[in-house]
Chains A and B, each alone.
Chain A
Amino acid sequence: MTHQAHAYHMVDPSPWPLTGAVAALLMTSGLAVWFHFHSTVLMTLGTVLVLLTMYQWWRDIVREGTFQGHHTPPVQKGLRYGMILFITSEVFFFLGFFWAFYHSSLAPTPELGGCWPPTGIITLDPFEVPLLNTAVLLASGVTVTWAHHSIMEGERKQAIHSLTLTILLGFYFTFLQAMEYYEAPFTIADGVYGSTFFVATGFHGLHVIIGSTFLAVCLLRQIRYHFTSEHHFGFEAAAWYWHFVDVVWLFLYISIYWWGS
């Protein structure tokens, strides 16, 4: 490698922005073609391409960071800022759904019966499965912190066990939510209550699945010795994301499940 007199990462030319952009084109056009001509070929193609792009792009970032040593302290600082900005944008994404919920529930229209929950809606009991879900997510916040301290202390075995436990708690949450959706006495088509409920909790559920995947990648990397006690930003980013998902749930639980019922 040629001599480099600075600590910044000069990236290699990469095909992934191009393949990712084409994947986005195929998915959106594919959605339109699906709606108009009942053919899912283009959308499936787009989905396969986006998955291939995601796998290879993130694989290359692991190569650059762990195997080539490009993630120097100033580069890590940039990654930290990037992750913070990304999570901030996610906060505003969810803020929109909370805005819709409070807009509809604080001054319910006459069509809803002038009350919240709207007339005819039987809500879920917040002290049954939703409370268990709250406990599950809070417990997963504990286990992810246990994993972080284990990595910092170089306790390989404990880190693997606690990370596994965190992922299992994430899957358990997803399972409980799926069951709750199946059993819910209202649907997404039941007026503004159903819309706000399923869009907000649905996007939260999607984020739990993404967070579980992120943590699962971290577990795989931990098993393969990628994390050192000094340098493990991939794990820290996953933990930040997981805590964010956890906090969103607390707001959902308090607002929609508890106050909203």
Chain B
Amino acid sequence: MYYKFSGFTQKLTGSGLASVYSPQGLRPGVPAEAPAMVFATPTKLVSGAGTALEYMGANQVPDLQRLFQIADGTPVHLKRGVPDRLLYRTTMALTVGGALYCLVALYIAANPSKK
């Protein structure tokens, strides 16, 4: 049994003899030297706010996680406030109204006019 470093899992995995002697796709792992110590958060320049990192918009997931994890007992389908309530009430109104309308339509369909 031979082992190689897997680029996908970042772990050692079993492999054949040939791939051990000519490893493919080995990515640079943990740097050998310790990174320079940072004693304070460096000031972020507005102009250099990582355009490459924020390809197609910034990451809002942490903010949304904070919002949706507020423990206020609101069920998940109403957690975002007004837009959620608006959509929910529209759907519920259509559900109740549609069910009643459906019952009427089925009643009419069940009683055809006797000519």
Contacts and interface: CB of A to CB of B under 8 A. Distances in A.
Given A14-B75, A60-B76, A225 B60 contact: yes
Nearest to B106: A29
B91 A149 contact: no
A85 to B, nearest CB: 24
Interface string B87-105: 1101110110011011001
Contacts of B61: 66-67, 224-226
B88 A56 contact: yes
B57 A49 contact: no
B71 A26 contact: no
A37 interface: yes
A157 B55 contact: yes
Nearest to A22: B95
Interface stretch (A40-48, A99-107, A122-130, A136-144): A40-48
Q: Quick one: which of B69, B98, B106 has the most chain A CB within 10 A?
A: B98
B7 A56 contact: no
B95 A13 contact: no
Given A56-B88, A157-B55, A67 B65 contact: yes
A164 to B, nearest CB: 11
A58 to B, nearest CB: 11
Nearest to A61: B76
A52 B90 contact: yes
A5 interface: no
Nearest to B69: A68
Q: Quick one: which of B56, B57, B60, B69 has the most chain A CB within 10 A?
A: B56
A192 B71 CA distance: 60
Given A45-B101, A223-B56, A223-B57, A67 B64 contact: yes
Nearest to A55: B87
- Give the 5 A-B residue pairs with the shortest CB-CB distance, closest first: A67-B68, A12-B75, A225-B59, A1-B71, A22-B95
21 contacts: A1-B71, A14-B76, A18-B95, A19-B94, A22-B98, A22-B99, A23-B98, A26-B99, A33-B105, A45-B94, A49-B94, A52-B87, A52-B91, A56-B77, A56-B88, A66-B65, A67-B61, A152-B8, A160-B56, A223-B56, A225-B61
